[in-house]
Structure 1
Amino acid sequence: MEWKRDWGLTARVLLTGFLLFILYLVFMTVLVVLFPSISIFLIVGLAVVMGLVQFFFSDKLVLWSTGSRIIAEDEYPELHRTIEKLCHEADLPLPRIAIMQSPVPNAFATGRSPKHAVVACTDSIMRLLTRDELEAVLAHELSHVKNRDILTMTLASFVAMIASMIMQSFFFSALFGGNNRENGAAWIVVWIVSIIVYALSTLLMLALSRYREFAADRGSALITRNPRALISALTKISGRMEAVPPQAKAKVEAANAFFIIPALSGNTIMELFSTHPATEKRIAALEKIETEIRGY
């Protein structure tokens, strides 16, 4: 079965992106009306700079935060051969490959484009999964690369970054327009609007992130032609994750948005806002894809 778009999923991604764009336009209109001055453009400019840093250095930042290291081919020849084969199937250039020493069984991909991608997995996931299961997980990560998800999520985070910066700068509003009562009232309105925009944009980003996981699962199934292997891998990883000590999961929690399954320690608010769909829903979607591939 050749690589095909899931148009229902694509429509949801486009709708989410459109809603983020509308939210951005509304937010900027409010800002310009209340503060028709250079300060607003300064905030937007800073957000652009932060976005560019995130985009161009995401691979280095994620590798650093997770303690992953790039490996040579002779260190893990089997892993290199597997990823090379999958890249051939997916029509992708070979990414840099990294290993992360952690008891948390997981994998991730990062990088601003297929030519600057990194695919990494933990040493524990290599011990946990069979060859076919690991291949399916790596194909999932390569699908993120093929779909340019780092670019998608960086653009999606732009509105939230602006809202966050304005929320914080509220407490330093004197730097952006004086202390008169009228200006202070305007800043209170902007601060309230910023909180609302930040909450809505975050919810939309989380929805977009969940859609991208479904898309990467689908990509894995099409690359390997073996969705059952990814179903088995997701089941194993989820089961094993419950046995991993919370302290170990807490160490890598900051990179949860990149992982194939988030490592939630149970000690943060992150469990209230999931970047990933429920494993049960992912398995149900993969079973439908299996039916498509088998043709019955």
Structure 2
Amino acid sequence: MNRIKTALLLTCLTLLLVAMGNAIGGQSGMILALFIAGVTNFLSYWHSDRIILKMYKAREVSATEYPALYGMIYRLAQNADMPMPKVYIIPSASPNAFATGRNPQNAAVTATEGIMQLLSEEELEGVMAHELAHVQNRDTLIATIAATFAGAIAVLGNMLQWSALFGSSSNNDDEEGDGLLGGLAMAFIAPLAATLIQMAVSRSREYQADTTGARICGKPQALASALRKLQLGVQAVPMKEAPPTTSHLFIVNPLAGTAALRLFSTHPPMEERISRLEAMASGQDA
């Protein structure tokens, strides 16, 4: 269901982009905006992992330095039939983790010092399985596609605003006035709708990673317990240095201490994530 939901959301972004292109008066503006957004996100897709790891001062570690963590990720990668990813540690007391990389062959799994102190071995295993699930499910690619369409729609929105304002200077009748208002309404509403859809895609992928990760480690209850602890841990020690633009990468929002509307959240409600995992655990026990 999560995969179907993601496909439907991406379809909505596509239709919204087409509608914006038609509103401008043809396909040329749509193609230009899509090209600009595509180039930007293509570069991000290939280089964002190194940029993000450097941003958080993440340090690659070996099996000698962190044998328990390294061995755990190795076993999980074997369970998922994936290559062994690189392992990084972030020097932060805030408990969190994320994965990055464009595919399983170029992946990195990152944990903060805080998460290793907070969670038990089984709970940490559930978190690492969740992160490997993001890599296995190609969530970096999906997020890039969603960002490409949302970015193109934002560019088209700006173009439509200028087009509507420019057109109004030489036409003052009621029909042109209605067209101006309609164009301006779409110029503001469409980018907002695209952002909401992009956030919904992110939330859907989190649900999918929870499910896949629980299957990889075979311990959905441990992952549920980890999420419960992480929610409280991040509220107590938020990662204040984390830019909002990267919050979707983490297993829990690193800025969870701040209030946000659910529609604009990159993560699903924690209680719903935990409930789904506990339902999986109950199914295993039955």
TM tier, shorter chain? 0.7 to 0.9
Cα distance in 1 for partners of 2:57, 2:189 equals 35
Distance (Å, rounded) in 2 between the aligned partners of 1:233 and 1:267 = 21
CA contact (8 A) 2:150 2:195 kept: yes
Map 1:91-102 → 2, pairs under 5 A: 91-102=81-92
Q: How far does residue 279 in structure 1 lie from its aligned partner after superposition?
A: 1.1
Give the aligned partner of residue 238 of structure 1. Answer: 231
Structure 1 partner of 2:249: 258
* Residues 254-292 of structure 1: CA deviation (Å, up to 9, x unaligned): 321011010226557677621111111011101121133
Query: Which digits, 9 at most, give the CA deviation of each residue in 1:72-112, with x for residues without a partner?
Result: 33222221111100000001111111111112100001111
Taking the TM superposition and a 5 Å limit, the aligned residue runs for 1:1-296 are 8-31=1-24, 34=25, 36=26, 41-168=31-158, 181=170, 192-244=185-237, 249-254=239-244, 255-264=246-255, 266=257, 273-294=264-285, 296=286
CA distance in 2, matches of 1:54, 1:270: 27
C-alpha contact (below 8 Å) 1:48/1:158 kept by paired residues: yes
What is the DSSP-based 3-state SS (H/G/I as helix, E as strand, rest coil) of the residue aligned with 2:255?
A: coil
C-alpha RMSD of matched pairs (Å): 2.7
Cα displacement (A) at 1:242: 1.9
Q: Secondary structure at the match of 1:256?
A: helix
Amino acid at match of 2:88: A
Deviation at 1:171, TM superposition (A): 8.0
Post-superposition shift, 1:130? 0.8
Greater Cα shift, 160-169 or 119-128: 160-169
Distance 1:67 1:192 in 2: 43
Whether the 8 Å CA contact 1:170–1:187 is kept in 2: the answer is no
Q: Unpaired runs of 5+ in structure 2? A: none
- The 8 Å contact of residues 168 and 180 in structure 2, kept in 1 or not, is answered as no
Provide the rounded CA distance (Å) in 1 between the counterparts of 2:145 and 2:32.
18
Q: Identify which range, 105-114 or 12-21, moves more after superposition.
A: 12-21
How many Å apart are 1:125 and its aligned residue? 0.3
Instruction: Say if 1:67 and 1:123 are closer, same or farther in 2 by CA, change over 3 A.
Output: same
Relative distance call for 1:92 and 1:220 in structure 2 (3 A) is: same
Structure 2: distance between partners of 1:122 and 1:108: 9
The 3 A distance-change label for structure 1 pair 171 and 194 is closer
Taking structure 1 as reference, are residues 169 and 268 closer, same or farther at Cα in structure 2, changes over 3 Å only?
farther
**Higher deviation after alignment, 164-173 or 13-22:** 164-173
Deviation at 1:163, TM superposition (A): 2.4
* 1:20–1:100 distance in 2 versus 1, CA, 3 Å: same
Instruction: Output one character per residue of 1:213-254: Cα deviation in whole Å (capped at 9) or x when no partner.
Output: 11111112111111111111111111112211xxx5221143
Question: Greater CA deviation, 68-77 or 92-101?
Answer: 68-77
Count of equivalent residues: 279
CA contact (8 A) 1:55 1:112 kept: yes
The change in CA–CA distance for 1:12 and 1:38 in structure 2 (over 3 A counts) is closer
SS in 2 for 1:151: helix
Q: Give the residue type in structure 2 aligned to 1:200.
A: A
* Residues 1:269 and 1:280: Cα distance change in structure 2 (over 3 Å): closer
Residue pair 2:161, 2:184 contacting (<8 A) in 1 also: no
**C-alpha contact (below 8 Å) 1:253/1:263 kept by paired residues:** no
Q: What TM-score, normalized by structure 1, do the two folds share?
A: 0.84
Identity, % of aligned positions? 33
For residues 69 and 213 of structure 1, what CA distance do their matches in structure 2 show? 25
Q: Does the Cα contact within 8 Å between 2:92 and 2:114 map onto a contact in 1? A: yes
Per-residue deviation, residues 143-185 of structure 1 (Å, max 9, x unmatched): 0000000101111122210122344567877xxx999746x99
